[in-house]
Amino acid sequence: MTAQSSAQQQDRSGFFDQFRLLTRYPNFGLLWTGQVISHLGDAFYSIALIWLVQEMTGSRTMMGAISATVSATALFGLVAGALVDRWDRRLTMFFSDVLRALAILTLPVLALLGQLELWHLFVVGAVMGLLAQLFYPAKQALLPHLVSRADLTGANALSHMAFLLLTAAGYGLGGLLLSVMTAPELFTFDAVTFGVSALTIWLIRMPRAQPAEPTGEGQAEEGAASSGLWQDILEGLRYVRQDALIATVIPVSLIANFIFAPLTVLLAAWAKDVVQAGALGYGLLEGSFLIGSLVGTLSVNALTARFHRGKLVVWGVIFMGLPLVLFAFIPNIYLDSALLAVIGLMNGIVNISIITVFQQRVPDVMMGRVFGLLIGLGMLAVPLGIALGGIAADYVSLSYLFAALGVAMTLIGLSLFRQPAVAELA
């Protein structure tokens, strides 16, 4: 814990100072720039894929099926993490981007030849999901090599900010472009963005000095190489089980993703049927959560320098739940938007805090496996939560459903007070 406390004390940059990290660390600046462009392309790909499935089949079942296929690749998360720990992280990201560019290019080529079929979309979707399972753990594991430990919080905040902004902008712009362009043309644009991202990753020059190893419970032995991939996976699971903090946080993240996944569907119904604000009101509710998340993401760097990190995480989880309980019984579009902004604010603070702690705590040889498990389980929880939330909304009052989700989240936060590894986190 001493090393973590020391890093936290050094991390005293203000709200806007973290943007200087882009020039202070040129390698991080390259990675961030490539990801900004790639996130925009990813949003274009996602919206074009669903739209094309709808045009080809007219089936909502097929639209859900292709989303489920992509989500199912999260089962590969722990295996992908073990591979990331065996391979060069930068090259893993580079080849993941190159292969995704080639995979996505097959769709416009097949469309041009008049041979594009539905099963092609499923295959490409699965390939894209599997390669993403390699890319994102590698990215999280690489980041501690690109910036100092004291600047990890700011770097994570900037990365998440780019994801939120460009994904939101990409969905809006992608929907607009689909009115004047075809889905295969948007796929081509996405392939180009993967190429740009691959180029920025190729230009990264890894420093020779390795980051100082974090301290933490259950720190893994870093001796002889593993006897095989299966052994690597088992070692990763043992590490997660033995580290009290990680063994607590990963299940909490899984449950939180499951609880919050249905919000998008439920908010649409709330805007239409309860507050009767229509599509404009739905956009206001979603936008309020996004703005809150952005503010929380960019504020966490300054907050962790002034407040106890463990208390920020615990109270952040609690105040992701309590406003949702209030939301359930206040059918007013403006007050509801304010409550969602608070939830988004806390969500940003908690997410960045947890990611940074993992990067500072987990031994480098375990980083891929831990993030592979964290990202994979989170991806699996989302479609399940959306599906069950949508079913529940047909039988349970929306007010009661929102209240139940809020109470569940609040109870999870309160339970963390009984977990010393979280509550005492420096």
Residue 387 lies in a domain: yes
* pLDDT at residue 220 tops 70: no
Nearest to 425 by CA among 317, 307, 321, 264: 307
Q: Does residue 193 share a domain with residue 143?
A: yes
For residue 130, tell me if it sits in a domain.
yes
Q: How confident is the model at residue 229 (pLDDT cuts 50, 70, 90)?
A: confident
Boundaries of domain holding 421: 235-426
Convert the pLDDT of each residue in 151-174 to its tens digit.
Answer: 998 899 999 988 888 888 887 788
CB within 8 Å of 327: residues ≥ 6 apart: 336, 339, 340, 402, 406
Neighbours of 180 (CB within 10 A): 7
Per-residue pLDDT at 6: 42
CATH number where 192 lies: 1.20.1250.20
Same domain, 281 and 346: yes
Q: 418 Cβ partners below 8 Å, 6+ apart?
A: none
Angle at 368 between CA 43 and CA 98, to 5 degrees: 45
Of the two residues 224 and 264, the one the predictor is more confident about is: 264
* Contact yes or no for 183/245 (Cβ under 8 A): no
Domain membership flag for residue 397: yes
The structure tokens listed for 167 are 């994904």
The per-residue pLDDT of the chain, averaged, comes to: 84
CB-count burial class (<10 Å; 0-12, 13-18, 19+) for 272: middle
162, part of any domain? yes
The answer to whether residue 245 sits within a structural domain is yes
In a domain, 338, yes or no: yes
Overall average pLDDT of the 94-99 stretch = 97
Indicate if 183 and 281 belong to the same structural domain: no
Q: Which of 47, 273, 41, 300 is nearest to 163 (CA)?
A: 41
Is the distance from CB of 283 to CB of 168 less than 8 angstroms? no
pLDDT band at 227 (very low <50, low <70, confident <90, very high): low
pLDDT beyond 60 at 329: yes
Same domain, 164 and 265: no
Instruction: Note whether residue 213 is domain-resident.
Output: no
- The mean pLDDT value for 62-67 works out to 74
Q: At what angle do helices 60-72 and 367-393 cross, to 10 degrees?
A: 160
Average pLDDT on 209-226 reads 43
Rank 138-142, 206-210, 271-275 by mean pLDDT and report only the highest: 138-142
Give the tens place of pLDDT for each residue, 357-377: 889 888 999 999 999 888 888
Alpha helix (H) ranges present in 243-397? 244-260, 263-269, 278-306, 309-328, 333-361, 367-393
388 lies in the same domain as 311: yes
| 209 — pLDDT class (breaks 50, 70, 90) | very low
The answer on 404 and 300 residing in a single domain is: yes
Residues 143 and 64 in one domain: yes
Claim to verify: residue 202 and residue 241 sit in the same structural domain? no
Taking the CB of residue 230, how many other CB atoms lie within 10 A of it?
Answer: 11
CB-based contact 244:218 (threshold 8 Å): yes
Residues 372 and 319 placed together within one structural domain of the fold: yes
Residues 294 and 420 in one domain: yes
Three-state DSSP string of 272-294: HHHCCCHHHHHHHHHHHHHHHHH
Residues 425 and 325 in one domain: yes
Number of domains in the chain: 2
| 114 and 6 within one domain | yes
Asked whether residue 218 is assigned to any structural domain, the reply reads no
Give the separation between CA 87 and CA 74, rounded to whole angstroms: 19
Residue that is written with structure tokens 């990680």 in the block:
246
